[in-house]
Structure 1
Amino acid sequence: MRIPTLVLIAASGTSLWSATPESAALAVNALGMALHKQMPKEGNVCLAPYSIQSALAMTYLGASGITQEEMARVLHFPADKRALGESFTALNQQLEEARQAAVKAVADARKYGGPGEPMTLRVANRLFAQKSYEFRKPFLTEVKTYFGAPLQLMNFRKDPAGVTDEINGWVAKQTEDRIRDLITPDALTKDTRLVLVNALYFKAAWANDFAESATSPKPFHVNGGRQIVEVPTMQTNLNMRYHNGHGFQAITLPYVGNHLHFLLIVPDSVGGISSIESKLTPELLHACAKAEYREVILHLPKFKITPPTVQLGALLQKLGMTTAFDEPRGSADFDAMAPKHPEDYLYISNVFHKTFFELDEKGTEAAAATAVVMLPGAIAIAPERPKPLELKADRPFLFAIQHAETGACLFLGRVNDPR
């Protein structure tokens, strides 16, 4: 007998709640860094930790027993599911407030002839479920309450290919067509019972644009110095948060509204990116987000990253989340999601994740979607200003889009080659 399939697709979501976001922010950054460290050392990398954790948090609400304990440990979630849900809802609410603040800032700027590019921050969650399948009502209620994910009934048994097209179309629409074909043609079958989807789209102008006239070709040490190429490099001189760490320098560039910023981490040595990645911690990310302001002359390449879909299932198992994937067979326990029977229980078969990221003089555009597939079984300037620092991102560097207040990373990545 074939065990029914459960597929979850996730991207970031927005909801209202009065709890604090610290627990969710810590979980987002901790897992994001753990996964980043497992990515290939060659080439460019981009993950959306907020999207990944939103998807997995919805899944976690349905976990029980040992599976819940393992997921809590690997994903840095509290044992109390309600506390987790409330924290994610609080973080989502702060992101929505950041979007609203950016909209107001743009409207105010327009009154004085300033830039008129609004911020777009869209976080959407949805459950695509098999008609008539026995999901537990408390699970469906919690996912809707904490993540704003409505339930849409589908017929996987009759037309899995059609459902795949519909879900992929929904993701593409939510991400302005930046994330297409998230789910592969063979990922959903007639045994699929549930797909949880989270889609994240972000587009924002810098609080202070780079002058296009200042952009010029400058050398970049590709892959740690093995090749030097000329790439379009932007330049600006601004007061920005600056952190001088052990073996690296970091700055933050705010987007319009000042609640979200671009974090740049540049190693001191041309070939030092791996060493910096190994030292990356949630505390370091938070320190960068809260650093003091300094005047910095910044040289930053324009870049665009469009990596293929990444399968995160094996990486999560390597981190210790095994029973959720039904290893060993029969060990998966998602009884809080749907009743577990010997011949009919749900488990995760894989987690699919896809991103898009582009940065230029005007700002940043980024998008992401994550799919978990389950089968049964105001800047203060000192009176005496120090000499401006100069930071050249002319070597492989790390980057993130952070929520300034909590330090939570919506996106996290590495640029080895900005071409």
Structure 2
Amino acid sequence: MKRFLISNVFGALAVMVAHGAPSFELAAKATNEVGVDLYRQLATGAENLCISPYSIDSALAMTFAGADGETRAEMARVLHFPDDGDVPASFSALQRSLEQMSAKTAELVKQSKKFGGPSVPITLNIANRLFAQKGYHFRETFLSLIKQNFGGAFEPIDFVADPAAATQRINKWVTDQTRDRIRDLIPGGALDKTTRLVLANALYLKAPWVNEFSQNATQPESFFVRGAPVDVPMMRKNAKDFAYARREGFTVVSVPYAGDELQFVILLPDDVNGLRGLESKLSDDMLAGCAKIEKRDVDLHLPKFKLEPPTITLAKQFEALGMKTAFDQPKGSANFDKIAPRTPNDYLYISQI
């Protein structure tokens, strides 16, 4: 048997897409649902958590395109993909929509000198790549599908001869795609002579606010961490383009990015010890509703923060959600025959996400 690795990386906070053209609703809804499922699996301690559901789901959607039999059925259930949906086409439409949104802000910047508006555009880079063993018998139909729908370039690489050099090459690609934000994503020893394919997705996002927070208005204020007040640098702004709503047990605020099509959605529990209760309410429908609240005049106090999350492996979490045969559990059950012809002694399975 041979193994392959799914690598997903991100350079900014996750983007929740909750509305838009029907063609990408499948991908957007599935991404939010997987994000909630993973959040429940991972948010078990007291540490900060940052994940990119879009990056994760995009990489797994590429893998799903090559799955067959029970492996495909399990992945469909866990990833919330419908049986009758065109998954690759929907992710392709979602990627195009995000890239078009970024391009629109570049046009707004050009016009800002005349009419006012953002001075810096949204920078968004979504990249997919297949690092594949030289000479291995991958199916041309799979490679063409990934290229057409995900823009995934095919790069032959030799894991058999030099897995360490292959690791360095993939890590360099990740570093380049994320503007040096992520280095050494794949640790030494993670790839070996049995590796045949690494499916990589990299997402880089740098987005300015519609209205920037003034540095002069940032002052120390109390913020509750694990129920206790802590003095933190608190950004302040009063604006009419914030969206605001009260819900049962929590408050929702949405802060728009340049172009007003992308938003940073904040959920704040009413009780200082109410985070667990709020987490229990998370769902795709709840997030979609929070992304559609009305704009109001809001006096916002937002802690200035920076997240530098470690690399998280997700194989155990996806197995716990029910995606077992993809990881060859039990042995001999993985079926990715649509990626490469499967034989009893030579077949692909996922080694890690």
The reply on whether 1:42 has 2:46 as its aligned counterpart is yes
- TM-score, normalization by structure 2: 0.94
Partner of 2:342: 340
**Local SS of the residue matching 2:195:** coil
Find the partner of 1:126 among 129, 143, 154.
129
Is the contact made by 1:11 and 1:54 (CA closer than 8 Å) also made in structure 2? no
CA distance in 2, matches of 1:87, 1:135: 24
Is the contact made by 2:32 and 2:53 (CA closer than 8 Å) also made in structure 1? yes
Instruction: Give the partner amino acid of 2:304.
Output: K
CA distance in 2, matches of 1:205, 1:330: 49
Q: How big is the shift at 1:134?
A: 0.7
The reply on whether 1:307 has 2:305 as its aligned counterpart is no
Partner of 1:245: 247
Identical-residue share of aligned pairs (%)? 49
Partner of 2:161: 158
Is the contact made by 2:126 and 2:204 (CA closer than 8 Å) also made in structure 1? yes
Partner of 2:76: 72
Counterparts of 1:253-272 in structure 2 under 5 Å?
253-272=255-274
Partner of 1:385: none
Q: How big is the shift at 1:220?
A: 1.2
Find the partner of 1:26 among 25, 29, 40.
29
Partner of 2:281: 279
Is the contact made by 2:108 and 2:117 (CA closer than 8 Å) also made in structure 1? no
Counterparts of 1:161-310 in structure 2 under 5 Å?
161-223=164-226, 225=227, 227-239=228-240, 240-310=242-312
Partner of 1:58: 62
**Local SS of the residue matching 2:332:** coil
Q: Which has the higher helix share?
A: 2
Q: How big is the shift at 1:314?
A: 0.2
Q: How big is the shift at 1:213?
A: 1.2
Q: How big is the shift at 1:117?
A: 1.7
Find the partner of 2:139 among 123, 133, 136.
136
CA distance in 2, matches of 1:279, 1:196: 33
The reply on whether 1:105 has 2:105 as its aligned counterpart is no
Deviation per CA, 1:226-258: give whole Å up to 9, x if none.
x32110010111122222111111111111111
CA distance in 2, matches of 1:76, 1:259: 25
Instruction: Give the partner amino acid of 1:107.
Output: K
**Local SS of the residue matching 1:341:** coil
Structure 1 stretches (4+) deviating beyond 6 angstroms? none
Partner of 1:384: none
Q: How big is the shift at 1:80?
A: 4.3
Is the contact made by 1:242 and 1:291 (CA closer than 8 Å) also made in structure 2? yes
Instruction: Give the partner amino acid of 2:309.
Output: P
Unaligned runs of 5+ in 2: 11-20
**Local SS of the residue matching 2:41:** coil
Instruction: Give the partner amino acid of 2:170.
Output: I
Instruction: Give the partner amino acid of 1:32.
Output: G
Is the contact made by 1:19 and 1:86 (CA closer than 8 Å) also made in structure 2? no
Instruction: Give the partner amino acid of 2:82.
Output: P
Partner of 2:7: 9
Root-mean-square deviation (Å): 1.5
**Local SS of the residue matching 2:137:** coil
CA distance in 1, matches of 2:25, 2:3: 34
Segment of structure 1 superposing worse, 139-148 or 115-124: 115-124
Partner of 1:414: none
Unaligned runs of 5+ in 1: 13-17, 352-419
CA distance in 1, matches of 2:23, 2:33: 17
Instruction: Give the partner amino acid of 1:61.
Output: A
Partner of 2:18: none
Instruction: Give the partner amino acid of 1:42.
Output: A
Deviation per CA, 1:80-119: give whole Å up to 9, x if none.
46x1111111111110111011111222113357552221
Is the contact made by 1:20 and 1:87 (CA closer than 8 Å) also made in structure 2? yes
Deviation per CA, 1:290-325: give whole Å up to 9, x if none.
111221111100111111111100000101111111
Is the contact made by 1:175 and 1:201 (CA closer than 8 Å) also made in structure 2? yes
Partner of 2:323: 321
Is the contact made by 2:160 and 2:194 (CA closer than 8 Å) also made in structure 1? yes
Deviation per CA, 1:332-372: give whole Å up to 9, x if none.
11111111111111111111xxxxxxxxxxxxxxxxxxxxx
Is the contact made by 1:19 and 1:90 (CA closer than 8 Å) also made in structure 2? no
CA distance in 1, matches of 2:168, 2:135: 21
**Local SS of the residue matching 2:50:** strand
Instruction: Give the partner amino acid of 1:342.
Output: P
Q: Which has the higher strand share?
A: 1
Q: How big is the shift at 1:206?
A: 0.4
Q: How big is the shift at 1:149?
A: 0.3
Deviation per CA, 1:7-47: give whole Å up to 9, x if none.
232458xxxxx971100001100000110111133111100
CA distance in 1, matches of 2:34, 2:177: 24
**Local SS of the residue matching 2:143:** helix
**Local SS of the residue matching 1:263:** strand
Count of aligned pairs between the two proteins: 341
